[in-house]
Amino acid sequence: MSPPSLRVPPHLPDEIIEDIFVCVPPSDPTLLLRGALACKRFACLFAGTGFRRRYCERHHRAAPMLGFLANLTFTGGVARFIPTPGAGGFCPGPDERHGYRAHDARHGRVLLTKLLPQGTTDLPHGHDQESVLAIWNPTTDDLRHLPLLHRRREVLTWNSAVLCGAAGDHIDCHSAPFRVVFLGIDAKNTTAHVFSSDSGEWSKVSRNNNLPGDDLDESQPGVMLAGNAAAHFMLAKGNRILKLDLATGKMCLLHLSRQCSRVVLMAMDDGRKVGFAEMLLPLSALRLWSVELGPNGVEKRWVITRTIELDKHLPADALVPRSMPCVAAYADGAGVIFLKTIDGLYALDLKSGQATRIPMTSGFYDIIPYVSFYTPVLRAALTTSGEGSSTGASTSSSQTQGAHRQRGFLELAM
């Protein structure tokens, strides 16, 4: 008898394949990458802008925390990317950007600061001679240096934040315009400037000579609310927040209910309200606060929204008496609070209550969580499989170079 002929599997339309793979959870991007490496056709579909947008639309409330940038002590504050367990092994590459400190992250972009050596004299007079700002996209490895900011007087203290310039729901806005808010306090004024990636220039949006009688907390990122219309920055003394309305340029102070030793700002109620987290000492408890708004939308008072007893979530080794945890950072969009303990760094998921210990071999000054989808890496599958382009997407030279930098991630996925 002749052997039976092999049955050819039916050809599924691209739309059905996308319907299947768009359900893959974003918390493990290696699942999509394995599918892309298994079939050139899948790789072309996944690399297309249509699939990426559908994927982000379906999971827009579940963008994963791929890791965080830690400004390490042994590097003098230079940042290193630390992947979080269960994030699919995402890693932007070895040693990323030498000499940069991570300052803020939002919508897939990271705001970096490079401190120049004291005594630097090669910058034009009137420019910022203390720091240089840059925007970095870890998924594509694109780095854009911002122009130096002209000012009359030397800034005594400052803070800055990056935000997306796209209108709407910010779905798949990695390639959209962005803005950077710079808030500086000099000897006479508190001044706010905004950089636009469209114009490539800084513009002054506000100046106030009555605020705030305090320093800005440069170690803590700002919080953006109401569709990036208002920026909030913590002041150093820990009992006031400086609010900047980006539409009107108006500045005001929000007073906390009492003096707090160490708090971390948070966006509450889907970004409609500002809040903060604080440790209750000597109790091993974490308390979350939210501002209550009046009928006209003005901040009215602070209310306690939740109290978390940490002994129910952290091991005993992390709650040693006389060495209680402190709040290190909050991952906006992922609902995760980082706690620095004597036993190391823990990430506490506010929804599930699960605490995960983050393995680190060195200390840090501060950390910047990185929350983003990671579908652009699938272009690496096109490079390794020999494909050049797909419908709605092309592989540029910069993307090809980024794919080679992801070699370690590809080996892990396979």
Residue 353 and residue 366: Cα distance in Å, rounded?
A: 23
Instruction: Convert the pLDDT of each residue in 320-377 to its tens digit.
Output: 877 878 899 999 888 899 999 999 999 999 999 999 999 887 889 999 999 887 764 4
Residue-level pLDDT at 134: 92
Using the CB atoms, write b or e for 59-90: b if 16+ within 10 Å: beeebbbbbbbbbbeebebbbbbbbbeebbbb
- Given strand 142-145, what is the order of strands in its sheet? 100-106, 109-115, 131-137, 142-145
Q: What is the largest CA-CA distance in the chain?
A: 96
Give the pLDDT of residue 94. 56
- List the chain residues with pLDDT less than 50: 119-130, 376-382, 384-414
Q: Which pLDDT does position 177 carry in this prediction?
A: 86
pLDDT in tens, 244-292: 999 889 999 999 877 676 789 999 887 788 999 998 877 788 999 999 8
Q: What angle do CA 358, 162, 335 make, to 5 degrees?
A: 40
Q: What is the pLDDT of residue 170?
A: 58
CB 163 within 8 A of CB 106: yes
pTM for this predicted structure: 0.81
